[in-house]
Every structure is written in structure tokens, then in C-alpha cells.
Amino acid sequence: MTTPQQPRAQWLGRWGFVLAATGSAVGLGNIWKFPYITGEHGGGAFVLIYLACILAVGVPVMMTEIAFGRRGRGSPIDAVRRVVTESGRSSLWSLLGWMAMLAGFMILSFYVVVAGWSFAYLWKAVSGGLAGASVDDMAAIFAANNANPLNLGFWSTLVTLATMLIVGKGVQAGIEKSVRWMMPGLVVMLVILIGYGMFSGGFIDALRFLFVFDAGSLSSDGMLAALGHAFFTLSLASGAILTYGSYLPARASIARTTVTVAIADTLVALMAGLAIFPVIFANGMSPEGGPGLLFMSLPLAFQAMPLGGLFAILFFVMLSMAALTSAISMVEATVSWLVDNKAVSRRTAAWGTGIVLWLVSTLAMLSFNVGADWTLAGRHFFDWLDYLTSRWMMPLGGLGMVLLAGFVLNSATFRDELGLSPRWHALWLFMVRYVSPLGILVIFVDALGIARIEFGAHWPWLAAVLVAISVIGELASPRLRRTLAG
């Protein structure tokens, strides 16, 4: 391992990091993915579990990751290795960093395809390709956009090029500045769309769908999806937040920045739901429309609004920007690892990564046309990338991180980095030791079919078990530490 020659770049103060991390967190996950998986998993109950996962797992994991990044000052692999070595633990733990880096890369490989949809729809909005389309036309337009590999490939290639161009230029230049106007702009657009939705005739149905808790509607697969999405939407366990954390100045408060990012991210997702579902219900569409949900619904709303053509353009510009600020964060881990370890320039690292990315993402893009039949166990390549990362790699990576922080490493490390008051520190420790890992484990146990847990009926028991395990865990903690430390 070579250490970087120059001191590591840093964000411009606390807001630099918050903006960049928000830019990473808020993206297609909030506006494209959250509404469509909520639709697929039946609404309210899914939303509730998702919010619980953000709070109980997402926030503690994010704090832990940023602390790892800042303490280790490096890519996930180097940072984790440095932090565990500092505590005298096995450097094998840096496998967690490898998995995160791989997850970020895999996510980006399908993310550029979805971002490509956004670019393509921007072009359609500009060139009038969406005007006057009916509900059925919208489905046909979405299908036609996917059917031609040259068309779809053109857009995903464009996104890949744009991402690598920005990443090649360095961490600070473009990232922070664009988020500063894009994020408020996106929120304004969503407010306008929600305002429109209120009068569309589908608003009450949308509210009911999103916020009425119907315990029976949630499958174990839905719970795993909610957990996975909490990781996805906050950019966790994929190298992004950890690497951004490695550029965080020593004096910034990790807890405060984490909470700010988590709140902004959650609000944007809920607002996207409130913008999309009224259109769905008012037009008699199915909430289970799948990945095309956003692209088949919102253009209908724009069509019916005064100045809709202009709003459509603005919306897809901002969606595309939001996608880019997320995309750049996904390769930052890989690029910074290459720069620190392989003696290559940032530009070379970015373009090298870009070529591999282009190959893998082209394969993912083909899932929508010529490769539609290339499936394995019912999933095509695009789906596999999403499924493996969201359902397995990120939750498992997050589990590894919290166990490491909670039981294995010297407690002084995190006390220093987080700099919390004793009471808040105790709360964080309780979360990373028990609540987050048990939450992840319970959902895995359920999803693997080992046991079916009825959350609606049994939550008091589950809470009691959690407390019991925590008490026993605290008593057995020195021993547990030794076991986990290997």
C-alpha cells in the first residue's frame, strides 16, 4: 500500500460535504425507484418499513461510514484497512471495502441506463415527442425507447461519458456547485407537481396508498426491498458515502451532517411519491407499472398543466442532473483507489474505469431489447445487478460495518471521530450494536424463509427480544469482541 503523495483533497467546509452527500443520496433512487417499488410492494406498509429502516439502520450506518472514511482518509478498501489496523485487528476486514467498491460499480452499470431514460425524455420534451400522448401512447413511447439498442445505448453511453468527464476533473470542481441550485430546483418542481396532483382527482387515493398501513400487504420480499432501498437511497455500503467522508474536514459534525442528508433524501422521496401517484390513480393506471412508472405517468401531468411543456423540460433537466451527481459518487471509490494505489492520474483512472463501465452497462442496456431473453432464474442482467446489490451486498456490507464499529474496533476511534456527547454516543453505540444488526438479521431471516415474522401482530415481542438481546449482549460484550475480532 502506498500512501498518497499530496494531502487528500477536502470539501469546502461543512456545506461542501452536505451538498455533495445530498447530491449523491438524492437521485433516481428517490424519484424513479422509490415510487415504483412502493407500487410493486403495495404502498403504506412498505413505506412504513422503509422509513423505519432509514431511521434504525440507515442513519447509524451512514454515521459509521463517514467516520470510517474520515478516520482512514482513503478509498473504502484503504480506509477500512487503516482503521482496523489502528485497532490491531485483522486487515481481512478490508474485504468489506472491496465489496462496497464492487457494489458501487455494479449499481452504476444499471444506473446509467435509467439516467439514459431521463436524458432521452429530456430530449423528447424538447423536441415535442411527448405532446398529446394518451395513457396508452405513454406506454408505447417507453417501450419504443427501449426496443432499439442503438437508441438506448446512445443515451446510456452519453451518461457514461458525462460521468467520467466530471469524475476525471476532480472532486470539488463541478459537484458542489451544481447541487446548490439543482436540489432546490427539483424540490420546487415536485411542489408544483404535487399542487397539480391535488386537483387531479387522484390525490386522496394517492395519500391512502402511500400512508395507510395495511400490514397484510407486505411480503418478506417487500421487507427486504425496503431495507435494500434504505441503503440504496442513502448511497450506503457502496463506497460513495465512505469515500466522500474521506474528504471531510476534521471539525465537521458527522451526526449533524448525516441527519441533514437523511431528512433531505427522505423528503424528496415522499414528495416524488406524492407527485406521481395522483397521476397514476387519476388516469386509472396501475401502481404496479414497474420501472417505467415515472416515465409513463409524469408526462401526462405535464401535458395537462399550463406551461407543461416548459415544466417537463425543466423537470427532466433536473432529474438528469440529480442522476449525474449520484452517478459520480458511485465511481469515486474506484477512482480514488486507483489514484492512491496504482500511480495513475485521476483522468486516466476515470477513463479506464469508464471503459469497463461502458462494457458492463451496455450488457445491462441490452436487457431491454435484444437480451430480453437472456435470463437466469427469471431475471435478466439489469435485474441481477439491482437485485444483488440492493438486496444482498449493501445490507450485508452495512451489517459488517456496524458489527465492526460496535464490537471489534477500539471504542476510542469512534468516540474521537463522532465527537458526540456521552449520551448521544451511547445511543449511537446501542444502535450499531443491536438495533441495526438485529433489524438487518430479522429481515434476512424472514426473506430467506427461515422463519416468517408477522410484524403487525408481534412487534411488542420483537421489541422485548431486542431489549433482552441487548442486555445479554452488553454482559457478554468482552467475549463477543474477542470472537468477532478472530
Rounded least distance, CB 18 to ligand PHE, Å = 15
Residue 187: Cβ-neighbour burial (10 angstroms; 0-12, 13-18, 19+): middle
> Which residue's beta carbon is nearest to the bound ligand PHE?
29
Q: How far is the CB of 88 from ligand PHE (least distance, A)?
A: 31
For residue 303, give the amino acid letter: Q
Q: Binder to ligand PHE among 28, 280, 298, 312 (CB under 6 A)?
A: 28
CA distance 429 to 435: 9
Q: Give 236-256 as a DSSP string.
A: TTSSHHHHHHTT--TTS-HHH
Q: Which is nearer to ligand PHE, 76 or 202 (CB)?
A: 76
Q: Which residue, 29 or 116, has its beta carbon nearer to ligand PHE?
A: 29
Q: Is residue 422 classed exposed, middle or buried when 0-12, 13-18 and 19+ CB atoms within 10 A define those classes?
A: exposed
CB 72 within 8 A of CB 394: no
Stretch that binds ligand PHE, among 26-34, 424-432, 439-447, 454-462 (CB under 6 A): 26-34
Asked if 133 contacts 303 with a C-beta cutoff of 8 angstroms, the reply is: yes
Mark residues 240-259: x for contact with ligand PHE by CB under 6 A, - for none: x-------------------
CA dihedral 6, 170, 242, 67 (to 10 degrees): 50
Kindly indicate which of the ranges 65-73, 200-208, 234-242, 280-288 contains the residues binding ligand PHE, using the contact rule CB under 6 A: 234-242
DSSP string across 461-483 = HHHHHHHHHHHHHHHHHHHHHHH
Query: Residue 101, interface with ligand PHE (CB under 6 A)?
Result: no
Size of the site for ligand PHE (CB under 6 A): 16
| Contact string 315-354 vs ligand PHE (x = CB under 6 A) | -----------x--xx------------------------
Q: In the numeric block, which cell numbers belong to residue 420?
A: 458526540
Out of 64, 75, 238, 283, which residue is the one contacting ligand PHE (CB under 6 A)? 238
- The correct pick among 64, 75, 146, 235 for binding ligand PHE (CB under 6 A) is 235
We find the least distance from the C-beta atom of residue 46 to ligand PHE, in angstroms, to be 16
Is the distance from CB of 19 to CB of 179 less than 8 angstroms? yes
CA dist., res. 100 & res. 394, Å (int): 7
- The least CB distance from residue 454 to ligand PHE, in Å, is 30
Shortest spacing between CB 169 and ligand PHE, in angstroms: 19
The correct pick among 19, 20, 22, 29 for binding ligand PHE (CB under 6 A) is: 29
Near ligand PHE in 355-414, by CB under 6 A = none
Amino acid at 33: K
Tell me which amino acid residue 22 is.
T
Q: Scanning residues 409 to 468, which ones bind ligand PHE (CB under 6 A)? A: none
> Exposed (0-12), middle (13-18) or buried (19+): which is 460, by Cβ within 10 Å?
exposed
Shortest reach from residue 27's CB to ligand PHE, in Å: 3
Distance CA 100, CA 456 (A): 33
Closer to ligand PHE by CB, 39 or 202: give it.
39
From 19-27, 207-215, 242-250, 283-291, give the range in contact with ligand PHE by CB under 6 A: 19-27
Beta carbons within 8 Å of 177's beta carbon, 6+ residues apart: none
What is the nearest approach in angstroms of ligand PHE to the Cβ of residue 300?
23
Residue 27 or 291: which CB sits closer to ligand PHE?
A: 27
Smallest gap, in angstroms, from Cβ of residue 321 to ligand PHE? Answer: 12
Q: How far is the CB of 206 from ligand PHE (least distance, A)?
A: 21
Q: Record the cell numbers describing residue 134, joined without a space.
A: 394518451
- β-pair type (379-380, 375-376): antiparallel
In this structure, what is the dihedral angle of CA atoms 30, 35, 41, 44, given to the nearest 10 degrees?
A: 90
**How far, rounded to the nearest angstrom, does the alpha carbon of residue 195 sit from its chain's CA centroid?**
27
Of the candidate residues 20, 23, 30, 357, the single one contacting ligand PHE (CB under 6 A): 30
Given the rule CB under 6 A, which residues bind ligand PHE?
24-25, 27-30, 104, 107, 232-233, 235, 238, 240, 326, 329-330
